[in-house]
Amino acid sequence: MIVEQIYTGCLAQGAYYIESNGEAVVIDPLREVAPYIQKAERNGAKIKYVLETHFHADFVSGHIDLAKKTGAKIVYGPNAKPDFDFYAAKDGEVLTVGNATIQVLHTPGHTMESTCYLLKDETGKAVGLFSGDTLFIGDVGRPDLAQKVKADLTQEMLAGYLFDSLRNKIMPLADDIIVYPAHGAGSACGKNMSKETTDTLGHQKQTNYALRADMTKDEFIKEVITGLVAPPAYFPLNVMMNIHGYDSIDTVLERGQHALSPEAFEAAANETSALILDTRDPQTFAGGFIPNSINIGIDGNFAPWVGAMIPDIKQEILLVTDEGREQEVITRLARVGYDYTIGYLKGGFEAWKASGKEVDQIRSISAEELAVIAANEQVHILDVRKNSEHLSEHVINAENAPLDFINDSMSQIDKNKTYYVHCAGGYRSMIFNSILRARGFNNLTDIKGGFKAIKESGKFPVSDYVCPTTLL
């Protein structure tokens, strides 16, 4: 029997491939399904089931394409009612995969259809729990997402269901079972996830705050909902795509891979409402970019920040990328439902610059350069990290304007003042600076290396360190 975790760091997401005696199962697949198909073909296996733990909010699953291309059956647990052909598994039902079996465990709480899958080997021994967003390593799924889709649910109600699911379905299982969650640290689907992506259930019973044996339901509800902030705006939109269906990834790639000359690119930008998205390294972007474009670097937490910063998943997008990475960017946009890339700049930004067209820049300075300026005048430092990060440790007198809530943060900025902007390492601050510059804020200077560089310079007073909270 083969059990493989296919982890995607950008989304902090774990998909799973299970194979036994010529039959395979894929759990919570990503949008691009070719890797799963190729893996099965190499092993001479047939994909029998696509198991979905719930209707995902943070990414668009590849379940529909994978089923169409392989003939596999899409499986959900109780309460799921999608708009496509699927198999509704009953709580406790056993699915056969080669010589292995998978037991369906309905575990409502994160969502009402949330389901875990208990894998048993050829001998009938339970060896793995594919826990979706019900149980993470160090945390459990946030109980406030399903209420965005179903109005008669409250987060308190969902948290209560989650408590019962954990106590009645998961905690009674054997301690040596390996927990395989759908997400790890960095996902917005929980607030305290570990960087580890698997663990034994026994260790989680000892260390996971939500699995304390002496915890009452009221205590659980209070702890689980404390610190929750509004989820990214694209979450409910992705849920709807996962329920109702979507264009094939092949169609999305075909639509997006139109190479445009600088002239054609400029015409497309002027003739449509397309957003110009530049995915190059933040500091490279700062040195020169197409006016009014925004920067979300492909080599950071790209997809989640696209989802957080671009409110409409049907927004048409024109891309500026490093040469050769166009398909990668289009694919990663599609993972979170942004299917309407309409073309990319052929030859990248260098082609634009060579054409003699207008170029913009964002000033970027080191922490040492900022210290020289601060020695001669008052400086306004803007910290765009999450509020929990700022409260944990920050430059004395810095203002906190979280990127996560950029519209609210923008309201506290005076266009006539010069601000020096930082995040933790320089990725988020360039997103912030580029968006505000496109909106007419021209007095923002980026600090290279972010808070880390500022602190290491020793040139600025920093608050005493406080252990970070579990605020999202």
Contact (Cβ atoms closer than 8 angstroms) between residue 83 and residue 243: yes
Q: What residues contact 36, with CB distance under 8 A and at least 6 apart? A: 6, 15, 17, 26, 29, 47, 62, 66
Residue type, 135: L
Q: Read off the pLDDT of residues 69-97 as tens digits, 9 standing for 90 and up.
A: 999 999 999 999 999 999 999 999 999 99
pLDDT band at 470 (very low <50, low <70, confident <90, very high): low
d(CA 175, CA 182): 20
At 189 the pLDDT is 86
Q: Which of 60, 34, 56 is nearest to 47 (CA)?
A: 34
Q: Which of 317, 223, 212 is nearest to 275 (CA)?
A: 317
Selected from 3.30.559.30, 3.40.250.10, 3.40.630.10, 3.40.470.10, the CATH number assigned to the domain covering 247-354 reads 3.40.250.10
Q: Give the tokens for residue 453.
A: 């560089």
Q: For all residues of the chain together, what is the average pLDDT? A: 95
Q: Which of 330, 305, 387 is nearest to 10 (CA)?
A: 305
- Between 470 and 38, the higher pLDDT residue: 38
β-strands 341-345, 294-295: how paired?
A: unpaired
d(CA 455, CA 370): 12
d(CA 135, CA 431): 32
Task: Give the full edge-to-edge strand order of the sheet including 419-422.
Answer: 364-365, 444-447, 419-422, 380-383, 399-400
Is the model's pLDDT at 221 over the cut of 90? Answer: yes
At 152 the pLDDT is 80
d(CA 308, CA 74): 29
- Between 471 and 438, the higher pLDDT residue: 438
Distance of CA 86 to the CA centre of its chain: 26
Task: Average the pLDDT over 98-108 and give the result.
Answer: 98
Q: Give the tokens for residue 23.
A: 């039959």
The second-level CATH assignment, the architecture, of 364-457 is: 3-Layer(aba) Sandwich (3.40)
At 364 the pLDDT is 98
At 388 the pLDDT is 87
How does 108-128 read in b/e, with b if 16+ C-beta sit within 10 Å?
bbbbbbbbbbbbbeeeeebbb
The second-level CATH assignment, the architecture, of 2-232 is: 4-Layer Sandwich (3.60)
Task: Average the pLDDT over 283-290 and give the result.
Answer: 98
Q: Where in the chain is the domain with CATH 3.40.250.10?
A: 247-354, 364-457
Q: Which of 397, 399, 362, 365 is nearest to 384 (CA)?
A: 399
Q: Is 101 helix (H, G, I), strand (E, B) or coil?
A: strand
Is the model's pLDDT at 293 over the cut of 70? Answer: yes
3-state secondary structure 224-289: HHCCCCCCCCCHHHHHHHHHHCCCCHHHHHHHHCCEECHHHHHHHHHHCCCEEEECCCHHHHHHCE
Contact (Cβ atoms closer than 8 angstroms) between residue 83 and residue 138: no
- Of the chain, the percentage scoring pLDDT greater than 90 comes to 90
At 149 the pLDDT is 62
At 468 the pLDDT is 67
Is the model's pLDDT at 471 over the cut of 70? Answer: no
Q: What angle do CA 447, 451, 452 make, to 5 degrees?
A: 110
Q: Give the tokens for residue 2.
A: 């083969």
At 322 the pLDDT is 97
Q: Where are the alpha helices (DSSP H) in 90-165?
A: 155-165
Residue type, 347: G
At 156 the pLDDT is 96
Contact (Cβ atoms closer than 8 angstroms) between residue 224 and residue 41: no
Q: Give the tokens for residue 31.
A: 């949008």
Which of 115-124, 236-245, 449-458, 461-470 is predicted with the least confidence, judged by mean pLDDT? Answer: 461-470
pTM of the model: 0.92
At 151 the pLDDT is 65
Q: Read off the pLDDT of residues 377-417 as tens digits, 9 standing for 90 and up.
A: 999 999 999 998 999 999 999 999 999 999 989 998 999 99
Q: Where in the chain is the domain with CATH 3.60.15.10?
A: 2-232
Q: Read off the pLDDT of residues 145-202 as tens digits, 9 standing for 90 and up.
A: 886 666 688 999 999 999 999 999 999 999 999 999 999 988 888 887 899 999 999 9
At 231 the pLDDT is 86
Is the model's pLDDT at 39 over the cut of 80? Answer: yes
pLDDT band at 50 (very low <50, low <70, confident <90, very high): very high
Task: Average the pLDDT over 264-291 and give the result.
Answer: 98
Q: What is the DSSP letter of 58?
A: S
pLDDT band at 121 (very low <50, low <70, confident <90, very high): very high
Q: Where are the alpha helices (DSSP H) in 335-425?
A: 348-354, 367-374, 387-392, 406-410
Is the model's pLDDT at 57 over the cut of 90? Answer: yes
At 67 the pLDDT is 98
